[in-house]
């Protein structure tokens, strides 16, 4: 069911420092910061040859990563995103297996303008998983 690893998301307390680290010290290709107010984050994309790292910083008062950064002030790996061919079929299969889908269970349009869902970390080895329609 799951396909490519679309990205690994890392929450960061300081975007400038994060861009300098990945773009400078680690020598990767990084984008400019991109505000995504609908998602409550500003993102820097790190392009690797086979996938992306997304450096996320809170934007606005209700950022979904604010709590995570409060608990992890140095930052940390926030989630992984797997691609699926059919997000509704994937959701139904997961729910039928007893796994919890976050929110109301309806896909939202994610940061790449594609439908996404998040799965409950307690049902997935302590890992927050985003599913994105491929």
- Each residue of 90-112: b (16+ CB within 10 Å) or e? bbeebeeeeeebeeeeebeebbe
Tokens of 130: 């985003």
45, 111 Cβ separation under 8 angstroms: no
The region of 1-9, 30-38, 59-67, 104-112 touching a copy of itself under the rule CB under 8 A is: 1-9
What 3-state DSSP class applies to 93? helix
Are the beta carbons of 126 and 108 closer than 8 angstroms?
no
- What is the nearest approach in angstroms of a copy of itself to the Cβ of residue 106? 20
| Interaction between residue 26 and a copy of itself (CB under 8 A) | yes
Q: Is 130 a catalytic residue?
A: yes
The binding track of 33-52 with respect to a copy of itself, each residue x by CB under 8 A or -, is ---------------xxxx-
Q: Check residue 115 for interaction with a copy of itself (CB under 8 A).
A: no
Under the binding rule (CB under 8 A), the answer on residue 1 touching a copy of itself is yes
Residue 106 backbone dihedrals phi, psi, to 5 degrees = -95, 135
In the range 62-81, which residues lie near a copy of itself by CB under 8 A?
Answer: 72, 74-77, 80
Q: Which residue in the set 31, 60, 99, 115 belongs to the binding site for a copy of itself (CB under 8 A)?
A: 99
- Residues annotated as part of the active site: 130
């Amino acid at each position: 069911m799951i396909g490519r690893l679309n990205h690994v998301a890392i929450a960061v307390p300081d975007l400038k420092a994060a861009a300098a680290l990945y773009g400078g010290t680690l020598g990767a290709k990084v984008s400019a910061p991109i505000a995504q107010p609908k998602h409550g984050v500003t993102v820097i994309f790190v392009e690797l040859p086979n996938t992306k790292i997304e450096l996320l910083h809170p934007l606005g008062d209700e950022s979904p990563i604010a709590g995570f950064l409060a608990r992890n002030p140095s930052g940390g790996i926030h989630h992984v995103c797997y691609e699926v061919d059919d997000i509704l079929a994937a959701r139904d299969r997961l729910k039928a297996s007893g796994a919890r889908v976050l929110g109301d269970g309806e896909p939202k349009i994610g940061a790449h303008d594609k439908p996404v869902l998040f799965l409950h970390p307690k049902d997935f080895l302590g890992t927050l998983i985003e599913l994105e329609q491929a």
